[in-house]
Amino acid sequence: MAAIQEKPSLLEQDRRQLHPLHHPSQSENPIIVERAEGVWLHTTDGRKILDAMAGLWNVNVGYGRTELAEAAYAQMQDLAYTSNFAGMTNLPASELAYKLSGYAYPSLKTTFFTCGGSESNDTAFKTARYFWKREGQPDKVKVISRRESYHGITLATTSATSVPRYHKMFGPLVPNFVYCHAPHPYRYEGDLQDGETVGEAAARDLEETILREGPETVAALIAEPVQGVGGVFVPPDDYFPRVRAICDQYDVLL
């Protein structure tokens, strides 16, 4: 455990060797976390901080779960790594894929494992294009995402991320990524017609975007169930059922 008085040297080491991910001016005096348990982060200067964000919305079961550490330890002893390339497979991956079968949708039976969200979304874009080529519609290549959405740090997922400040210095973006309005229940930025709910308006904007681009060119819509960077908001209840129907109508993967 690092002593509290060592913090200046730790900060200097951090500045030299660990990229802050954001602008360096935002990390001149960072909070240094040394351990965590449950929902609490413990810092080198003795503070106990409630992690209300659950990491980056990914620590869903809390910190310090002994049973998870023990399971990882046991698996590392038995089989730390093997690839699934060239006709190989492995027992843990096969068992987990079977367990996940049907969790998201009853008809979803196949799992493709990746190392993170950016890689997952990049793979989803490729899979959508592959699917439409196999279906004899090779022009369906465009991916629609929603404004103020975040989808990852690869060049393709950055292009799908409709946050202009995240694009600065990384252009030109990958072509064929198109944006529609997000169903923000409190600050909807699109055209809201008389008697129309935000969910109805945002779904209509999606349909108008598909028609403007041409349904024969649109492969998929990518949409966060809870839009994080855009404000951590849950879409209205009437939004996704309408989106599902629109995607089905125009042969757009969701």
pLDDT digits (tens, 9 = 90+) for 216-226: 999 999 999 99
Q: Give residue 129's pLDDT.
A: 98
- Of the ranges 49-53, 81-85, 103-107, 217-221, which one carries the lowest mean pLDDT score? 103-107
pTM of the model: 0.86
Beta-sheet pairing, 40-43 with 48-50: antiparallel
Q: DSSP secondary-structure letter at 158? A: H
pLDDT exceeds 70 at position 11: no
Q: Give residue 219's pLDDT.
A: 99
Average pLDDT of the residues in 162-168: 90
Mean pLDDT, the chain, rounded, equals 91
Average pLDDT of the residues in 126-138: 98
Average pLDDT of the residues in 185-208: 95
Residue 31 or residue 75, greater confidence = 75
Alpha-carbon span 80 to 101, nearest angstrom: 23
Average pLDDT of the residues in 232-253: 97
**Strand partners for 233:** 227
Alpha-carbon span 100 to 23, nearest angstrom: 39
Q: Looking at domain 116-249, which of 3.30.460.10, 3.40.640.10, 3.55.40.20, 3.40.50.880 is its CATH number?
A: 3.40.640.10
According to DSSP H, which parts of 82-197 are helical?
Answer: 91-100, 117-134, 155-160, 164-167
Tell me the pLDDT band of 200, cut-offs 50, 70 and 90: very high
Tell me the pLDDT band of 9, cut-offs 50, 70 and 90: confident
Residue 161 or residue 9, greater confidence = 161
Listed in sequence order, the residues at least 6 apart from 160 whose beta carbon sits closer than 8 Å to its beta carbon are 121, 125, 143, 145, 149, 151, 152, 177, 222
Domains of the chain, by residue range, sit at 116-249
pLDDT exceeds 70 at position 22: no
Cβ–Cβ < 8 Å for 135, 251: no
Alpha-carbon span 2 to 106, nearest angstrom: 49
Q: Residue 239: name the closest of 209, 210, 202, 189 by CA.
A: 202
pLDDT exceeds 70 at position 2: no
Q: Which of 15-24, 135-144, 167-176 has the highest mean pLDDT?
A: 135-144
Tell me the pLDDT band of 145, cut-offs 50, 70 and 90: very high
Residue 31 or residue 22, greater confidence = 31
Percent of the chain clearing pLDDT 70 (strictly above): 90
**Strand partners for 41:** 36, 49
